[in-house]
Amino acid sequence: MESTYIKLGVNIDHSATVRQARYREHPLDRGQMVEPDPVEVALRCQSAGADAITMHLREDRRHIQDSDVYRMREMIQVPLNLEMACTDEMRDIALEVKPEVVLLVPEGRSEVTTEGGLNLLANRVAVGDLIRDLTEGGIATSLFIDPDPQQIQAAAQLGAEYIELHTGAYAHSVYNGTLPAEYDRLAKAAVIAHDAGLYVNAGHGINYSNITTLRKLPHLYEMNIGHSIISRALLTGIEAAVRDMKILMNGQWR
């Protein structure tokens, strides 16, 4: 019988975004204060029950750096999902790092975060070659795609093990009134993917509000969530952070 437990992959990219905002120019390997360390964030996510850690090494290195990926591989015990574009450079890094899963995404330099799913119909050969190389290297592949039956069939034909359904349109639909239609699209896509033998993951824009509906999608294996968890951590952690600084300033809290 299929398990109803949905795994949580925590995407820690935004912790690196905060680090880069202050320490972009400073080396990460000299033992000096460079905060926050995404690896430490990931270890805390792991202790809190995260089932996997996701990190996106972007071509422009705007948040995660190469050294973060290598350190993460060494330090965490839960599976590592390495999110990346379909390029030779990224393939070579993945084959060296050996994450449990590579999550292939389209990448646009002007986007703030990943905006659309892969177009597998237009990129069959490139994606197929990459999946073959990763498979030979012992790495499973997940394809980030829109909830579109044609893309799902292509993902299965290309030999991917997982798809990640792009939930961004659903997350946005809360604000433009197309919610039921977007949910329906995701639910149908999940059934088609499951029937095609794919593990069904979901990600993008999932938050503490829409999770109550999205968790009902059929056949969900894993959800990848970043922004909302990092945002919540700011709220749940801010009181201790202020108290700690006051104690360092004055030797006491009050």
Task: Out of 39, 105, 118, 192, point to the residue binding ligand PXP (CB under 6 A).
Answer: 105
Of the two residues 110 and 252, which places its CB atom closer to ligand PXP in the complex? 110
Q: Which of 56, 63, 166, 194 does the annotation list as catalytic?
A: 56
Beta strands in 48-134 (DSSP E): 52-56, 80-84, 101-104
For 10, the token pair is: 């925590």
166 is catalytic: no
**Helices and strands (DSSP H and E) totals, the chain:** 10, 8
Give the phi and the psi of residue 166 in degrees, each rounded to 5. Answer: -75, 110
Element (H, E) at 8: strand 7-11
By CB under 6 A, tell whether 205 contacts ligand PXP: yes
Please, what is the minimum distance in Å from the beta carbon of residue 145 to ligand PXP? 10
Examine residue 192 and tell whether it contacts ligand PXP (CB under 6 A).
no
Stretch that binds ligand PXP, among 43-51, 92-100, 199-207, 242-250 (CB under 6 A): 199-207
Active-site annotation holder among 14, 63, 83, 222? 83
Q: Are 210 and 170 in contact (CB under 8 A)?
A: yes
What x-and-dash track marks residues 51-70 binding ligand PXP by CB under 6 A? -----x--------------
Size of site (CB under 6 A) for ligand PXP: 19
**Residue 64 and residue 83 in contact, taking contact as beta carbons nearer than 8 Å:** no
What are the structure tokens assigned to 237, written together?
A: 């952690």
Residue 83 is among the residues annotated as catalytic for this protein: yes
The verdict on 16 binding ligand PXP (CB under 6 A) reads: no
- Residue 226 touching ligand PXP (CB under 6 A): yes
Q: Does residue 17 touch ligand PXP according to CB under 6 A?
A: no
214-220: long-range contacts, CB 8 A cutoff, minimum separation 24: 214/167, 214/170, 214/186, 215/6, 217/165, 217/183, 217/186, 217/187, 217/190, 218/187, 218/190, 218/191, 218/194, 219/2, 219/190, 219/191, 219/193, 219/194, 220/6, 220/190
Of 15-23, 34-42, 121-129, 226-234, the window that binds ligand PXP (rule: CB under 6 A) is 226-234
Residues of this chain that bind ligand PXP (CB under 6 A)? 11, 13, 56, 83, 103, 105, 113-114, 144, 164, 203-206, 224-228
The catalytic residues are 56, 83, 204
